[in-house]
Structure 1
Amino acid sequence: MNALLVDDSRLARTELRHLLRAFPEVTVVGEARHAEEARTQLRELQPDVLFLDIHMPGETGFELLASLETAPHVIFTTAYDEYALRAFEVNALDYLLKPIQENRLAAALAKARAKLTAPVPALAPAAEPEPEEAAPTPLTEQDQVFVKDGERCWFVRLADIRLFEINGSYTQIYFEQHRPLIPRTLQHLEQRLDNRVFFRANRQQIINLKWVESIEPWFSNTLKIKLRGGPEVEVSRQQSVRFREMLSL
Protein backbone atom coordinates (compact mmCIF):
# COMPACT_ATOMS: atom_id res chain seq x y z
CA MET A 1 0.00 0.00 0.00
CA ASN A 2 1.70 3.20 -1.20
CA ALA A 3 0.95 6.37 0.77
CA LEU A 4 1.41 10.09 0.14
CA LEU A 5 1.55 12.46 3.12
CA VAL A 6 0.20 15.98 2.59
CA ASP A 7 0.64 18.43 5.46
CA ASP A 8 2.20 21.88 5.70
CA SER A 9 3.78 20.93 9.05
CA ARG A 10 7.09 19.10 8.69
CA LEU A 11 6.76 17.87 12.28
CA ALA A 12 3.31 16.41 11.58
CA ARG A 13 4.63 14.60 8.49
CA THR A 14 7.58 13.25 10.46
CA GLU A 15 5.34 12.00 13.28
CA LEU A 16 2.96 10.31 10.85
CA ARG A 17 5.84 8.71 8.95
CA HIS A 18 7.16 7.40 12.27
CA LEU A 19 3.76 5.92 13.20
CA LEU A 20 3.48 4.25 9.80
CA ARG A 21 6.72 2.32 10.41
CA ALA A 22 4.65 0.01 12.63
CA PHE A 23 2.74 -1.09 9.49
CA PRO A 24 5.20 -2.87 7.13
CA GLU A 25 2.58 -3.16 4.40
CA VAL A 26 2.60 0.65 4.02
CA THR A 27 5.28 2.43 1.98
CA VAL A 28 5.47 6.22 2.18
CA VAL A 29 6.30 7.16 -1.40
CA GLY A 30 6.28 10.93 -0.97
CA GLU A 31 5.41 14.03 1.02
CA ALA A 32 3.88 17.37 0.05
CA ARG A 33 3.64 20.68 1.90
CA HIS A 34 0.67 22.17 0.05
CA ALA A 35 -1.96 21.44 -2.59
CA GLU A 36 0.08 22.35 -5.66
CA GLU A 37 2.94 20.13 -4.58
CA ALA A 38 0.46 17.37 -3.79
CA ARG A 39 -1.04 17.52 -7.29
CA THR A 40 2.39 16.95 -8.82
CA GLN A 41 3.14 14.08 -6.47
CA LEU A 42 -0.24 12.47 -7.15
CA ARG A 43 0.36 12.51 -10.91
CA GLU A 44 3.89 11.12 -10.62
CA LEU A 45 3.54 8.62 -7.78
CA GLN A 46 -0.05 7.35 -8.14
CA PRO A 47 -0.38 6.47 -4.42
CA ASP A 48 -3.05 4.13 -3.10
CA VAL A 49 -3.77 6.22 0.00
CA LEU A 50 -3.62 9.96 0.62
CA PHE A 51 -3.10 11.22 4.18
CA LEU A 52 -4.43 14.74 3.86
CA ASP A 53 -4.39 17.74 6.18
CA ILE A 54 -7.27 20.22 5.85
CA HIS A 55 -5.77 23.60 6.81
CA MET A 56 -2.82 24.41 4.55
CA PRO A 57 -1.49 27.63 3.04
CA GLY A 58 -3.19 28.40 -0.26
CA GLU A 59 -5.77 25.70 -0.93
CA THR A 60 -7.39 23.57 1.73
CA GLY A 61 -7.45 19.79 1.57
CA PHE A 62 -11.07 19.93 0.38
CA GLU A 63 -10.13 22.32 -2.43
CA LEU A 64 -7.33 19.99 -3.49
CA LEU A 65 -9.76 17.08 -3.76
CA ALA A 66 -12.26 19.18 -5.70
CA SER A 67 -9.57 19.98 -8.29
CA LEU A 68 -8.74 16.32 -9.01
CA GLU A 69 -10.40 14.24 -11.70
CA THR A 70 -9.54 11.07 -9.78
CA ALA A 71 -8.17 10.62 -6.28
CA PRO A 72 -6.78 7.77 -4.17
CA HIS A 73 -8.46 6.72 -0.96
CA VAL A 74 -8.34 9.65 1.47
CA ILE A 75 -7.65 9.63 5.21
CA PHE A 76 -7.90 13.13 6.69
CA THR A 77 -5.41 14.12 9.41
CA THR A 78 -6.32 17.32 11.23
CA ALA A 79 -6.41 19.07 14.59
CA TYR A 80 -10.01 20.22 13.99
CA ASP A 81 -13.09 18.07 14.57
CA GLU A 82 -15.66 20.41 13.00
CA TYR A 83 -15.01 19.18 9.45
CA ALA A 84 -15.88 15.53 10.12
CA LEU A 85 -19.28 15.71 8.39
CA ARG A 86 -17.83 17.33 5.29
CA ALA A 87 -15.02 14.77 5.24
CA PHE A 88 -17.46 11.88 5.03
CA GLU A 89 -19.50 13.73 2.41
CA VAL A 90 -16.45 13.49 0.12
CA ASN A 91 -16.24 9.75 0.89
CA ALA A 92 -13.12 9.89 3.03
CA LEU A 93 -12.12 6.54 4.51
CA ASP A 94 -11.45 8.05 7.92
CA TYR A 95 -10.89 11.25 9.88
CA LEU A 96 -7.94 11.18 12.30
CA LEU A 97 -7.55 13.88 14.90
CA LYS A 98 -4.06 15.03 15.84
CA PRO A 99 -2.18 13.85 17.79
CA ILE A 100 -2.89 10.64 15.90
CA GLN A 101 -3.31 7.52 18.03
CA GLU A 102 -1.79 4.30 16.73
CA ASN A 103 -4.99 2.28 17.25
CA ARG A 104 -7.00 4.83 15.23
CA LEU A 105 -4.36 4.76 12.50
CA ALA A 106 -4.53 0.96 12.46
CA ALA A 107 -8.32 1.08 12.04
CA ALA A 108 -8.03 3.58 9.18
CA LEU A 109 -5.44 1.43 7.41
CA ALA A 110 -7.66 -1.62 7.85
CA LYS A 111 -10.40 0.24 5.97
CA ALA A 112 -7.95 1.16 3.22
CA ARG A 113 -6.70 -2.42 3.02
CA ALA A 114 -10.25 -3.73 2.72
CA LYS A 115 -10.98 -1.29 -0.13
CA LEU A 116 -7.76 -2.12 -1.97
CA THR A 117 -8.09 -5.89 -1.67
CA ALA A 118 -11.83 -6.10 -2.41
CA PRO A 119 -12.32 -8.36 -5.45
CA VAL A 120 -13.73 -6.81 -8.58
CA PRO A 121 -17.27 -8.20 -8.91
CA ALA A 122 -17.73 -10.50 -11.89
CA LEU A 123 -20.82 -10.65 -14.04
CA ALA A 124 -23.28 -13.09 -12.49
CA PRO A 125 -26.42 -14.77 -13.80
CA ALA A 126 -29.62 -12.85 -13.23
CA ALA A 127 -30.83 -15.45 -10.73
CA GLU A 128 -27.69 -15.13 -8.56
CA PRO A 129 -28.81 -14.32 -4.97
CA GLU A 130 -27.51 -11.16 -3.37
CA PRO A 131 -24.73 -11.72 -0.80
CA GLU A 132 -25.64 -11.40 2.85
CA GLU A 133 -24.83 -8.12 4.54
CA ALA A 134 -21.41 -8.21 6.21
CA ALA A 135 -21.29 -8.27 9.99
CA PRO A 136 -20.67 -4.82 11.47
CA THR A 137 -17.04 -4.03 12.31
CA PRO A 138 -16.40 -4.21 16.08
CA LEU A 139 -15.25 -1.03 17.81
CA THR A 140 -12.93 -0.46 20.76
CA GLU A 141 -13.51 2.11 23.48
CA GLN A 142 -10.72 4.25 22.00
CA ASP A 143 -12.42 4.48 18.62
CA GLN A 144 -13.98 7.78 17.68
CA VAL A 145 -17.43 7.82 16.14
CA PHE A 146 -19.16 10.48 14.12
CA VAL A 147 -22.48 11.59 15.62
CA LYS A 148 -24.95 13.92 13.87
CA ASP A 149 -28.19 15.23 15.34
CA GLY A 150 -29.97 17.85 13.24
CA GLU A 151 -27.50 20.60 12.39
CA ARG A 152 -25.04 19.63 15.12
CA CYS A 153 -22.32 17.02 14.83
CA TRP A 154 -19.58 15.61 17.04
CA PHE A 155 -16.60 13.30 16.74
CA VAL A 156 -16.56 11.50 20.10
CA ARG A 157 -14.54 8.70 21.65
CA LEU A 158 -16.64 5.72 22.73
CA ALA A 159 -14.81 5.82 26.08
CA ASP A 160 -16.46 9.20 26.73
CA ILE A 161 -20.00 7.88 26.16
CA ARG A 162 -21.49 6.72 29.45
CA LEU A 163 -24.95 5.61 28.30
CA PHE A 164 -26.94 4.53 25.23
CA GLU A 165 -30.70 4.70 25.79
CA ILE A 166 -33.74 3.98 23.62
CA ASN A 167 -35.78 7.09 22.88
CA GLY A 168 -38.70 6.30 20.61
CA SER A 169 -37.34 4.87 17.36
CA TYR A 170 -33.91 6.40 18.03
CA THR A 171 -31.08 5.84 20.50
CA GLN A 172 -29.97 8.70 22.74
CA ILE A 173 -26.27 9.04 23.54
CA TYR A 174 -25.03 10.54 26.81
CA PHE A 175 -21.61 12.23 26.78
CA GLU A 176 -20.47 15.41 28.51
CA GLN A 177 -23.61 17.59 28.63
CA HIS A 178 -24.83 16.40 25.22
CA ARG A 179 -27.78 14.07 24.47
CA PRO A 180 -27.92 13.60 20.68
CA LEU A 181 -30.23 11.08 19.01
CA ILE A 182 -29.00 8.64 16.36
CA PRO A 183 -31.05 6.37 14.04
CA ARG A 184 -29.60 3.13 15.42
CA THR A 185 -31.08 0.31 17.49
CA LEU A 186 -29.52 -0.94 20.71
CA GLN A 187 -29.22 -4.37 19.08
CA HIS A 188 -27.08 -2.91 16.29
CA LEU A 189 -24.92 -1.01 18.79
CA GLU A 190 -24.53 -4.04 21.04
CA GLN A 191 -23.07 -6.00 18.12
CA ARG A 192 -20.40 -3.34 17.55
CA LEU A 193 -19.49 -2.38 21.12
CA ASP A 194 -16.87 -4.11 23.27
CA ASN A 195 -18.89 -6.18 25.78
CA ARG A 196 -16.03 -5.96 28.28
CA VAL A 197 -16.72 -2.23 28.55
CA PHE A 198 -20.35 -1.76 27.47
CA PHE A 199 -23.04 -3.72 29.31
CA ARG A 200 -26.69 -4.19 28.31
CA ALA A 201 -28.40 -3.25 31.59
CA ASN A 202 -31.96 -3.80 30.35
CA ARG A 203 -34.03 -3.62 27.17
CA GLN A 204 -33.70 0.16 27.01
CA GLN A 205 -30.11 0.92 28.08
CA ILE A 206 -26.45 0.04 27.52
CA ILE A 207 -24.01 1.44 30.09
CA ASN A 208 -20.26 2.09 30.00
CA LEU A 209 -18.90 0.12 32.97
CA LYS A 210 -16.02 2.54 33.39
CA TRP A 211 -18.50 5.30 34.25
CA VAL A 212 -20.10 3.38 37.14
CA GLU A 213 -20.00 5.45 40.33
CA SER A 214 -21.97 3.21 42.68
CA ILE A 215 -24.01 -0.01 42.76
CA GLU A 216 -26.77 -0.86 45.23
CA PRO A 217 -29.22 -3.74 45.67
CA TRP A 218 -32.69 -3.01 44.35
CA PHE A 219 -36.07 -4.70 44.26
CA SER A 220 -36.43 -8.45 43.57
CA ASN A 221 -32.70 -9.15 43.66
CA THR A 222 -31.95 -6.59 40.96
CA LEU A 223 -29.33 -3.82 41.00
CA LYS A 224 -29.38 -0.07 40.61
CA ILE A 225 -26.31 1.57 39.11
CA LYS A 226 -25.43 5.24 39.34
CA LEU A 227 -23.24 6.62 36.55
CA ARG A 228 -20.84 9.51 37.02
CA GLY A 229 -22.67 12.52 35.62
CA GLY A 230 -25.97 10.59 35.82
CA PRO A 231 -28.40 9.08 35.40
CA GLU A 232 -29.25 6.09 37.59
CA VAL A 233 -29.97 2.85 35.74
CA GLU A 234 -32.04 -0.08 36.97
CA VAL A 235 -30.58 -3.40 35.83
CA SER A 236 -33.10 -6.09 34.89
CA ARG A 237 -33.27 -9.27 36.97
CA GLN A 238 -31.66 -11.44 34.29
CA GLN A 239 -28.92 -8.90 33.59
CA SER A 240 -28.30 -8.38 37.31
CA VAL A 241 -27.41 -12.07 37.55
CA ARG A 242 -25.11 -11.74 34.53
CA PHE A 243 -23.57 -8.54 35.95
CA ARG A 244 -22.71 -10.29 39.25
CA GLU A 245 -21.24 -13.30 37.45
CA MET A 246 -19.24 -11.17 35.04
CA LEU A 247 -17.65 -8.94 37.69
CA SER A 248 -17.19 -11.45 40.52
CA LEU A 249 -13.82 -13.05 41.31
Structure 2
Amino acid sequence: MLPPVYQPTEQLLKLDKGVITQTGSNKGSKLDNFTPNFQEDFTLLLPNKYQIQYNDIEKSYTITPKINLFEIGISEEPGVTAISTTFGPLSSKPLLRERSLSLDIYALLGISGGLGCTLTHTLVIPLDVVKTRMQTNPGEYNGVFDGAATITREEGIGALLLGTQATIVGYLWYGISVYPSYAFFKRFIASSLLSPAFAVAHANDVALVAGALASVIASLGLTPLEACRIRAVAQPELYRDAG
Protein backbone atom coordinates (compact mmCIF):
# COMPACT_ATOMS: atom_id res chain seq x y z
CA MET A 1 0.00 0.00 0.00
CA LEU A 2 3.06 2.28 0.07
CA PRO A 3 3.96 4.42 -2.95
CA PRO A 4 6.64 2.81 -5.16
CA VAL A 5 9.43 5.05 -3.88
CA TYR A 6 8.97 3.66 -0.38
CA GLN A 7 8.61 -0.01 -1.28
CA PRO A 8 11.56 -2.32 -0.52
CA THR A 9 10.75 -4.17 -3.75
CA GLU A 10 14.13 -5.81 -4.31
CA GLN A 11 14.24 -7.19 -0.80
CA LEU A 12 10.68 -8.50 -1.09
CA LEU A 13 11.47 -10.29 -4.33
CA LYS A 14 14.55 -11.87 -2.79
CA LEU A 15 12.53 -13.14 0.13
CA ASP A 16 9.71 -14.65 -1.89
CA LYS A 17 9.33 -14.31 -5.65
CA GLY A 18 6.03 -16.13 -5.48
CA VAL A 19 4.26 -13.12 -4.06
CA ILE A 20 4.10 -11.58 -7.53
CA THR A 21 1.50 -14.06 -8.67
CA GLN A 22 -0.11 -14.75 -5.33
CA THR A 23 -3.85 -14.19 -5.08
CA GLY A 24 -6.42 -14.77 -2.44
CA SER A 25 -9.77 -13.81 -1.02
CA ASN A 26 -10.99 -12.74 2.38
CA LYS A 27 -14.70 -13.14 1.64
CA GLY A 28 -16.89 -14.71 4.28
CA SER A 29 -16.37 -15.04 7.98
CA LYS A 30 -15.41 -18.67 8.42
CA LEU A 31 -12.23 -19.37 10.31
CA ASP A 32 -10.92 -21.36 7.34
CA ASN A 33 -10.63 -18.17 5.32
CA PHE A 34 -7.93 -16.81 7.64
CA THR A 35 -4.55 -18.49 7.67
CA PRO A 36 -2.49 -18.66 10.88
CA ASN A 37 0.15 -16.42 9.34
CA PHE A 38 -0.90 -13.56 7.06
CA GLN A 39 2.40 -13.94 5.19
CA GLU A 40 0.94 -17.10 3.70
CA ASP A 41 -1.75 -15.05 1.99
CA PHE A 42 -1.18 -11.32 2.41
CA THR A 43 -4.28 -10.42 0.41
CA LEU A 44 -6.32 -11.33 3.48
CA LEU A 45 -5.22 -7.95 4.82
CA LEU A 46 -7.14 -6.15 2.05
CA PRO A 47 -10.87 -5.49 1.68
CA ASN A 48 -12.67 -8.02 -0.52
CA LYS A 49 -12.45 -6.22 -3.86
CA TYR A 50 -8.71 -5.41 -3.73
CA GLN A 51 -5.83 -7.58 -4.90
CA ILE A 52 -2.06 -7.18 -5.09
CA GLN A 53 -0.37 -7.01 -8.49
CA TYR A 54 3.27 -6.57 -9.46
CA ASN A 55 3.91 -3.82 -12.03
CA ASP A 56 6.84 -4.74 -14.30
CA ILE A 57 7.11 -1.21 -15.68
CA GLU A 58 7.25 0.60 -12.33
CA LYS A 59 9.03 -2.32 -10.65
CA SER A 60 6.72 -2.06 -7.68
CA TYR A 61 3.54 -3.52 -6.26
CA THR A 62 0.16 -1.99 -6.93
CA ILE A 63 -3.34 -2.59 -5.68
CA THR A 64 -6.10 -3.38 -8.13
CA PRO A 65 -8.55 -1.91 -8.75
CA LYS A 66 -6.73 1.42 -8.59
CA ILE A 67 -7.21 3.45 -5.43
CA ASN A 68 -8.26 7.05 -5.92
CA LEU A 69 -6.17 9.45 -3.91
CA PHE A 70 -7.72 12.57 -2.51
CA GLU A 71 -6.60 15.45 -0.32
CA ILE A 72 -8.06 16.09 3.09
CA GLY A 73 -7.29 18.66 5.74
CA ILE A 74 -5.40 16.40 8.11
CA SER A 75 -1.86 17.48 8.87
CA GLU A 76 0.28 18.61 11.76
CA GLU A 77 0.65 22.00 10.08
CA PRO A 78 -2.54 24.16 10.09
CA GLY A 79 -3.93 24.76 6.64
CA VAL A 80 -1.82 22.04 5.00
CA THR A 81 -3.65 19.15 3.37
CA ALA A 82 -2.60 15.52 3.48
CA ILE A 83 -3.02 12.76 0.91
CA SER A 84 -5.57 10.20 1.98
CA THR A 85 -6.57 6.84 0.54
CA THR A 86 -9.22 4.22 1.04
CA PHE A 87 -7.04 2.85 3.83
CA GLY A 88 -6.70 6.13 5.73
CA PRO A 89 -4.58 9.29 5.59
CA LEU A 90 -1.41 7.58 6.87
CA SER A 91 -1.21 4.86 4.24
CA SER A 92 0.57 7.04 1.67
CA LYS A 93 3.78 7.43 3.69
CA PRO A 94 5.94 5.24 5.92
CA LEU A 95 5.13 5.09 9.61
CA LEU A 96 7.61 6.66 12.02
CA ARG A 97 8.40 4.97 15.30
CA GLU A 98 8.79 8.25 17.19
CA ARG A 99 7.68 11.80 16.47
CA SER A 100 10.08 14.67 17.08
CA LEU A 101 9.17 16.84 20.03
CA SER A 102 9.48 20.61 19.95
CA LEU A 103 9.82 22.92 22.94
CA ASP A 104 6.10 23.63 22.99
CA ILE A 105 5.37 19.89 23.20
CA TYR A 106 7.78 19.55 26.12
CA ALA A 107 6.06 22.54 27.74
CA LEU A 108 2.65 20.89 27.33
CA LEU A 109 4.02 17.67 28.84
CA GLY A 110 5.29 19.66 31.82
CA ILE A 111 2.06 21.61 32.30
CA SER A 112 -0.18 18.54 32.03
CA GLY A 113 2.14 16.50 34.25
CA GLY A 114 2.32 19.25 36.87
CA LEU A 115 -1.44 19.74 36.98
CA GLY A 116 -2.13 16.01 37.05
CA CYS A 117 0.35 15.22 39.84
CA THR A 118 -0.73 18.22 41.90
CA LEU A 119 -4.42 17.37 41.61
CA THR A 120 -4.08 13.68 42.46
CA HIS A 121 -1.77 14.22 45.45
CA THR A 122 -3.83 17.12 46.77
CA LEU A 123 -6.92 14.91 46.86
CA VAL A 124 -5.19 12.36 49.09
CA ILE A 125 -3.60 14.82 51.55
CA PRO A 126 -5.88 13.70 54.45
CA LEU A 127 -4.90 10.09 53.83
CA ASP A 128 -1.25 11.13 53.63
CA VAL A 129 -1.54 12.94 56.98
CA VAL A 130 -2.95 9.85 58.70
CA LYS A 131 -0.33 7.61 57.09
CA THR A 132 2.52 9.89 58.21
CA ARG A 133 1.18 10.06 61.77
CA MET A 134 0.87 6.26 61.89
CA GLN A 135 4.49 5.96 60.73
CA THR A 136 5.91 8.58 63.09
CA ASN A 137 3.74 7.49 66.04
CA PRO A 138 3.39 3.72 65.72
CA GLY A 139 0.71 2.14 67.89
CA GLU A 140 -1.13 5.38 68.59
CA TYR A 141 -4.02 4.73 66.19
CA ASN A 142 -6.09 1.63 65.50
CA GLY A 143 -6.11 1.90 61.73
CA VAL A 144 -6.66 4.66 59.19
CA PHE A 145 -10.24 5.53 60.15
CA ASP A 146 -9.42 5.71 63.85
CA GLY A 147 -6.43 7.88 63.05
CA ALA A 148 -8.51 10.30 60.98
CA ALA A 149 -11.22 10.50 63.68
CA THR A 150 -8.68 11.02 66.49
CA ILE A 151 -6.75 13.73 64.63
CA THR A 152 -9.99 15.56 63.78
CA ARG A 153 -11.28 15.33 67.36
CA GLU A 154 -8.04 16.47 69.02
CA GLU A 155 -6.70 19.01 66.51
CA GLY A 156 -9.66 20.00 64.36
CA ILE A 157 -10.60 19.19 60.79
CA GLY A 158 -7.87 21.48 59.51
CA ALA A 159 -5.24 19.08 60.83
CA LEU A 160 -6.10 16.68 58.01
CA LEU A 161 -4.72 19.28 55.59
CA LEU A 162 -1.32 19.64 57.23
CA GLY A 163 1.51 19.88 54.71
CA THR A 164 -0.75 21.07 51.90
CA GLN A 165 1.64 23.77 50.72
CA ALA A 166 4.61 21.44 50.55
CA THR A 167 2.53 18.76 48.80
CA ILE A 168 1.29 21.15 46.12
CA VAL A 169 4.69 22.68 45.42
CA GLY A 170 6.53 19.36 45.58
CA TYR A 171 4.30 17.45 43.21
CA LEU A 172 3.86 20.44 40.91
CA TRP A 173 7.63 20.31 40.44
CA TYR A 174 7.56 16.52 40.14
CA GLY A 175 5.02 16.55 37.31
CA ILE A 176 6.64 19.50 35.53
CA SER A 177 10.03 17.79 35.55
CA VAL A 178 9.43 14.06 35.28
CA TYR A 179 7.25 13.90 32.13
CA PRO A 180 9.35 16.12 29.84
CA SER A 181 12.55 14.56 31.21
CA TYR A 182 11.29 11.04 30.47
CA ALA A 183 10.36 11.97 26.90
CA PHE A 184 13.71 13.71 26.37
CA PHE A 185 15.90 10.95 27.79
CA LYS A 186 13.98 8.25 25.95
CA ARG A 187 14.63 9.93 22.60
CA PHE A 188 18.16 11.05 23.43
CA ILE A 189 19.28 7.56 24.45
CA ALA A 190 17.62 5.91 21.45
CA SER A 191 18.86 8.38 18.84
CA SER A 192 22.19 9.70 20.17
CA LEU A 193 23.70 6.98 22.37
CA LEU A 194 22.48 3.79 20.67
CA SER A 195 22.08 2.58 17.12
CA PRO A 196 18.50 2.52 15.82
CA ALA A 197 18.46 -1.28 15.58
CA PHE A 198 19.77 -1.74 19.12
CA ALA A 199 17.34 0.87 20.50
CA VAL A 200 14.35 -0.85 18.89
CA ALA A 201 15.45 -4.28 20.13
CA HIS A 202 15.87 -2.93 23.68
CA ALA A 203 12.98 -0.47 23.77
CA ASN A 204 11.88 -1.58 27.25
CA ASP A 205 15.39 -1.13 28.65
CA VAL A 206 15.62 2.34 27.10
CA ALA A 207 12.28 3.27 28.68
CA LEU A 208 13.41 2.00 32.11
CA VAL A 209 16.67 3.96 32.01
CA ALA A 210 14.88 7.09 30.79
CA GLY A 211 12.32 6.76 33.58
CA ALA A 212 15.03 6.30 36.19
CA LEU A 213 16.93 9.41 35.04
CA ALA A 214 13.71 11.46 34.95
CA SER A 215 12.82 10.30 38.47
CA VAL A 216 16.25 11.37 39.77
CA ILE A 217 15.73 14.89 38.42
CA ALA A 218 12.20 15.05 39.81
CA SER A 219 13.29 13.74 43.21
CA LEU A 220 15.95 16.43 43.59
CA GLY A 221 13.16 18.98 43.98
CA LEU A 222 10.57 16.75 45.60
CA THR A 223 12.69 15.33 48.45
CA PRO A 224 13.28 18.62 50.34
CA LEU A 225 9.60 19.46 50.09
CA GLU A 226 8.62 15.99 51.29
CA ALA A 227 10.84 16.62 54.32
CA CYS A 228 8.92 19.86 54.95
CA ARG A 229 5.60 18.05 54.60
CA ILE A 230 6.53 15.30 57.02
CA ARG A 231 7.79 17.81 59.61
CA ALA A 232 4.58 19.84 59.29
CA VAL A 233 2.47 16.71 59.83
CA ALA A 234 4.57 15.06 62.55
CA GLN A 235 5.36 18.25 64.52
CA PRO A 236 2.60 20.76 63.76
CA GLU A 237 3.33 22.75 66.93
CA LEU A 238 6.71 23.72 65.45
CA TYR A 239 6.11 23.85 61.71
CA ARG A 240 2.37 24.42 61.11
CA ASP A 241 2.58 28.19 61.10
CA ALA A 242 5.87 28.30 59.21
CA GLY A 243 4.32 27.15 55.92
TM-score normalised over the length of structure 2: 0.24
Q: Which has the higher contact order (CA 8 A, sep 6+)?
A: 2
Structure richer in strand, relative to its length: 1
TM-score normalised over the length of structure 1: 0.24
Structure richer in helix, relative to its length: 2
Larger Rg: 2
